[in-house]
Structure 1
Amino acid sequence: MHEILHFQLGPRSNHVGTHSWNIRESLFAYTDQDVDHGVAHDVDWRQGLGRQNEETYMPRLIACDLKENFGALPNINALYGTTDGDEDEDGLTDGPAEKLQRLQTAPPIPPSAYQTFLESDQPDPTYETDNDDEADNDNDDKLPQPPRLTETRFWSDFNRVYYHPRTLHPLPPQFLGSSAVSASVSGFTSWETGSLAWSAVKTDSHMEDDFRLFAEEADLLQGVQLCVDMSTGFGPIGAGVVEEFIKEEYPKGDVFVTGLMGSLEGLEESNSITRIFTEAQTLVSLLQADTTLLPVQPPSPEWLPALSSPPNLFQSSALVASHLVSVLMPLRLKTDRLGMASLRQGLNWRGDTRLCELSGRAALWDVELAKKQCGIDFSSVGGLAGSTTTPFFSQSVLRGIPEQDASGLFDSLQQKTGLKGPLFTTRTAPERLPLASPFPSTIFSPEPSSSNQTSPKSIPIWSTLSSSTNSRHLLNSFTQSIGSFLSVRGDMRLAFGGGASLGGSGGGDWGRDEGRELLEALWSVREGFMEDDEGEESDGERE
């Protein structure tokens, strides 16, 4: 089995990850009547034994976040409980169990209404038959409904799965913010604070041991998949995990990173500068560690008409998760499986394009319209793929679309890209992507702007993972912002939180030389994504 080990680092990443695991859990076929999605679940899930010798199936995952963002999660998993210092049959020691106990030292947080419902014996709509997409039926009042936006306090509020005791890793108390996601915005924003937190994680937590145990129990680990909040202190934590955990243990291991970026809207100038520099340094550090990096822009109502404005994290993370699960499904198929190494080689066949892009359309109710329009580009600064783009590689996945329509859409996509052969690959699946409760499925209603909104239990979806010159726009935005800041301020300490050196958690002052070093690294990355008719210094930034 070619297993994948997962990391989720930060509140936004854990929102996306929670939706992703909920969807993956709904892909299980428990009876002969259930739809077989052709997924090899052992790729992502580990089989083990609980404290009562019952069989368990849990994500092969390490989740790190601010302590308060775990909500009531530690009180939910009763399969393992705590230990008395003895090692159980699953190989657990008292270390991870004590870690769970530390999560509960603060006043207990009550579980959400949805979690309370899950603990009851009432039927779950995820396993009810979708009758021709009619979500409203006579039994709706007896089934759990997605939490309202005001009811979603933490990502644990809508979590459906049990986690292994090795999974949960709260940051040490000195790095906790005020509350929930706002904590990551108010007090944990800079590269320096994240670097200090990473030093504490290495010395005060069991994360490295838990990573090694997860990796060692795998039959054949094909790679590691990370989701990281790039715009906060979790950026340097993600870079540290890759450089000092994964690459130390597996120097040639394949690593695929989804980097979630933050919005600058509503931030003061000093906070905006800090966010830009944190994202830029995280990007450079991850790429220098030989990863494939998929940046995802902050959510926008342009992504989907039904998204709230400003976008709600519960909704927007559900949209991102839907595309990530779909486009990476080939890595976890029973037959004709794509290896992570092959995917990374395709995206970076030129040798200097380790940045990639995510695009597509969810709830693809009108295929003919999709043929005429561009897909939403979740990685580009502008949101839609630009016309002056040279594609290098494209892999598209279509789910739940009739074969004839899928063929027509693929032909249209290939015509737009001009790619052929192994550089343009496609996958289809007749089954729609299931939306596990409490997924905010009304955002995918066929009539999102009408009063007749429905909550589909599954959707047709088109998702594409690609590499192209479009990535230069993101890199240009970084180099222009940093170059402008350097020309005015010169001193980089404000942007990086006051201290840390370019490579880690040291305390050297940030001066002009260090800023230029970061700019040079960004320019070096950008060279792989320039159009042939663009000069190396087209934006006039180099001196």
Structure 2
Amino acid sequence: MANRELVTLQVGHYSNFVGTHWWNIQESSFVYSPSQASGPKEICHDVLYREGENRHREVTYTPRLVAFDLKGSLKTLKQEGLLYETGADGDDIKWMGDVTMHKEVSEPLNPYLKSLEQVEIEDLSISKDISDEEKYGDHDLGTEKKKQVCQAGKGDERDTLSETKPVNLEDHINVWSDFLGTSFHPKSVHVVQEYRHKDEFSPFDLFNSANEVFSNYESTCEWEDRIHYFTEECDNLQGFHIMMDTHDGCGGLGAGILRYLEDEFPGKGIFTFCFTSADSPDSTAKERATRIINSALAYGSVTTHSSLFVPVSLASSVWQKLGKPIEIPYLNYKPMAYHTSAILASTLDTLSLPYRLETNAINLRDITHSFNSQGRKVATLNTSFPLGLYKDESLIDFFSQYGEMFPWQPVTPHVKNEKKPFIQSVVMRGVTNAMVQSKTDPSKLPDYLARLTSKEEVLRNYLSHMSQGNLFATNCLESAIKTKVPYPQIFNENVTSDGLICSTPRPEGKRVDSVPMLTSLQSTPEAGDVIRQLYESAAKMNIKKHHRYMSAGLEEDDYQETLDNLKALVTCYKTDAEAL
């Protein structure tokens, strides 16, 4: 059976924060031997990962990824990675005359990266002990053994760090590569050379700043080549995951890449997540206006060139003013990128499981086609992280206590979950059938939850009651999401090490290693409210007074066309009653 491959693109610094947590989460769930498996294999990692081979004929296992960021954003990470030894250091100099070598001072490694470096050194010595039969003989045996050598050390290291004194990484993390535990392919990282990260004199903060990037022919050919490198080795490419920032110039960069994907890969699913970080610049009227205009231009383009897209932020509002971060039960997180991106990555990892399953997986295109009917290309996202299930509490009792309310919080801003969705895809993980049955008298339980014996039945009956005839799909997995080092410890003291809720505090120094959770991807009338509020905020902007946009090539007619498209998109979400 083909692997139904996906290629992931991360465009922007905050999107790379989310992506880094996402890849770390996935690698922490790798199982390296049958003895480590706690149940049946539920997730097919080959959907997002690729198997390769380096110069030493050692098997590598890396994400099928192209990550875009600005010059100066990688810090300790080499653009070409470490696995393949590309030899691009420039030490082999043929010039016979005098040579002056200039090298930048290397950034010091933080405690987490130092621990990974030590593990990689040990892995190199282990790999030398692999027999020739394992390397070059039976392919399946050799592949599995070498995958273990390549990746297992990192998983073991996370376990070791989790059991020792907690590592406070918050003081050491400035960029996403500071906590990257995944090895990338040399084709994965594309650096935008025209702009520098956090450059005060020439910031990459306007949607149309991307025009300068696209005008560089050599650079454009380079990132196109990176995308084709991963797509051409796929046997059954089902589409693309796109994670992009929309509050700065990366919105324009992402929009241009989406246009290219739509033209180059017709018929493939393009599932886009548009991020606005909860700590985006918001101290001046100019910064707020820039965020609104960038978002309007980005959203207008994304809706045109994506199969489906989801606005995502932990800020409660992102248009006229950046709202406070939403409150999530049992979490104590800060509005810093390291924390907020972890929550969003956990949500993304869970909602994407239906098309990453080992068996009975659905095609990405089928999901996006189901959601974007009648022009509804905008979806909303909700999460219950952690699930909030008490220790010794049954799943039936958990759902019955919510009555007519949903048990999740929206991570799409300006959504209140007050309207019934047209269609939704709900994924629950980390719950077993042993946690289902209630000790409560069945006569005191809601009829739709009484006498059920499986987690699938409980979730389906609950959603059937709440959806009132609207469409929904469910998936239930036993494997909880892993939250080991370098995942931030953002859980309050009442969350146990396995993610359940307890009335007594968790022992001091004990980490939360795994968490059950629930996500809901929805096409809902409230998605129209999100776009309507953006349209109303953007329509108040007199673009002629924003001279930098005009200088960067934005025409007044183009801006007005964007507003008209947003206004038309809002009408797609009106219900029959509202249309009368």
Q: Is the shorter-chain TM-score for this pair beyond 0.5, marking a shared fold?
A: yes
Letter in 2 for 1:107: V
Map 1:189-204; keep pairs closer than 5 Å.
Answer: 189-200=205-216, 203=219
Work out which of the residue numbers 40, 45, 58 in structure 2 matches 1:41.
Answer: 45
Q: CA deviation digits over 1:90-117, x for unaligned, max 9?
A: xxxxxxxxxxxxxx96432222220110
In the alignment, is the contact (CA less than 8 A) between 1:6 and 1:61 conserved in 2? Answer: yes
Tell me, yes or no, if structure 1 residue 82 matches structure 2 residue 82: no
**TM-score after normalising by structure 1:** 0.82
C-alpha change, 1:27 and 1:288, in structure 2 (3 Å) is: same
Aligned to 1:254: 269
In the alignment, is the contact (CA less than 8 A) between 2:429 and 2:478 conserved in 1? Answer: yes
Tell me, yes or no, if structure 1 residue 308 matches structure 2 residue 336: no
Distance of 2:229 and 2:484 partners within structure 1: 30
Distance of 2:187 and 2:251 partners within structure 1: 22
Work out which of the residue numbers 8, 11, 25 in structure 1 matches 2:10.
Answer: 8
Choose 406-415 or 294-303, whichever is displaced more: 406-415
Distance of 1:228 and 1:344 partners within structure 2: 18
Aligned to 2:345: 321
Tell me, yes or no, if structure 1 residue 459 matches structure 2 residue 511: no
Q: How far is 1:124 from its partner?
A: 7.0
Aligned to 2:230: 214
In the alignment, is the contact (CA less than 8 A) between 2:428 and 2:475 conserved in 1? Answer: yes
C-alpha change, 1:283 and 1:445, in structure 2 (3 Å) is: farther
In the alignment, is the contact (CA less than 8 A) between 2:62 and 2:184 conserved in 1? Answer: yes
Choose 62-71 or 1-10, whichever is displaced more: 62-71
Tell me, yes or no, if structure 1 residue 169 matches structure 2 residue 190: yes
Map 1:77-476; keep pairs closer than 5 Å.
Answer: 77-83=81-87, 106-121=104-119, 126-127=155-156, 139-141=163-165, 145-172=166-193, 174-178=194-198, 187-200=203-216, 203=219, 206-244=222-260, 246-263=261-278, 266-299=282-315, 300-309=325-334, 311-348=335-372, 350-366=373-389, 368=397, 372=402, 373-374=405-406, 375-382=408-415, 384-385=416-417, 387=418, 389-403=419-433, 404=436, 406=455, 407-419=457-469, 423-443=471-491, 446-447=494-495, 454-476=510-532
5+ residue gaps, structure 1: 86-103, 501-506, 537-543
Distance of 2:253 and 2:218 partners within structure 1: 10
Q: CA deviation digits over 1:157-184, x for unaligned, max 9?
A: 1111110000011111x311337xxx7x
C-alpha change, 1:77 and 1:111, in structure 2 (3 Å) is: farther
Letter in 2 for 1:522: L
C-alpha change, 1:129 and 1:239, in structure 2 (3 Å) is: closer
Choose 325-334 or 186-195, whichever is displaced more: 186-195
Q: How far is 1:25 from its partner?
A: 1.1
Aligned to 1:53: 57
Aligned to 1:518: 562
In the alignment, is the contact (CA less than 8 A) between 2:494 and 2:506 conserved in 1? Answer: no
Q: How far is 1:355 from its partner?
A: 0.7
| 3-state SS of paired residue (2:540) | helix
Distance of 2:246 and 2:103 partners within structure 1: 29
| 3-state SS of paired residue (1:63) | strand
| 3-state SS of paired residue (2:42) | coil
In the alignment, is the contact (CA less than 8 A) between 1:330 and 1:338 conserved in 2? Answer: yes
C-alpha change, 1:443 and 1:492, in structure 2 (3 Å) is: farther
Aligned to 2:99: none
C-alpha change, 1:303 and 1:200, in structure 2 (3 Å) is: farther
In the alignment, is the contact (CA less than 8 A) between 1:230 and 1:262 conserved in 2? Answer: no
Distance of 2:217 and 2:303 partners within structure 1: 22
| 3-state SS of paired residue (1:480) | helix
Q: How far is 1:410 from its partner?
A: 4.1
Letter in 2 for 1:313: A
Report the structure number with the largest CA radius of gyration. Answer: 2
**How many percent of aligned residue pairs carry the same amino acid?**
24
Q: How far is 1:68 from its partner?
A: 2.0
Q: CA deviation digits over 1:128-178, x for unaligned, max 9?
A: 999xxxx999x524xxx4543121121111111110000011111x31133
Distance of 2:314 and 2:375 partners within structure 1: 25
Aligned to 1:91: none
In the alignment, is the contact (CA less than 8 A) between 1:171 and 1:201 conserved in 2? Answer: no
Distance of 2:423 and 2:462 partners within structure 1: 16
Distance of 1:363 and 1:283 partners within structure 2: 30
In the alignment, is the contact (CA less than 8 A) between 2:426 and 2:473 conserved in 1? Answer: yes
C-alpha change, 1:451 and 1:129, in structure 2 (3 Å) is: closer
C-alpha change, 1:4 and 1:204, in structure 2 (3 Å) is: closer
Q: CA deviation digits over 1:322-353, x for unaligned, max 9?
A: 111011012111110111011112212x3311
Q: How far is 1:20 from its partner?
A: 0.6
Choose 442-451 or 334-343, whichever is displaced more: 442-451
Aligned residue pair count: 485
C-alpha change, 1:186 and 1:140, in structure 2 (3 Å) is: farther
Choose 515-524 or 119-128, whichever is displaced more: 119-128
| 3-state SS of paired residue (1:397) | strand
**TM-score after normalising by structure 2:** 0.77
Tell me, yes or no, if structure 1 residue 527 matches structure 2 residue 542: no
Tell me, yes or no, if structure 1 residue 63 matches structure 2 residue 88: no
Aligned to 1:481: 537
Choose 22-31 or 292-301, whichever is displaced more: 292-301
In the alignment, is the contact (CA less than 8 A) between 1:392 and 1:419 conserved in 2? Answer: no
Distance of 2:171 and 2:80 partners within structure 1: 21
In the alignment, is the contact (CA less than 8 A) between 2:330 and 2:386 conserved in 1? Answer: no
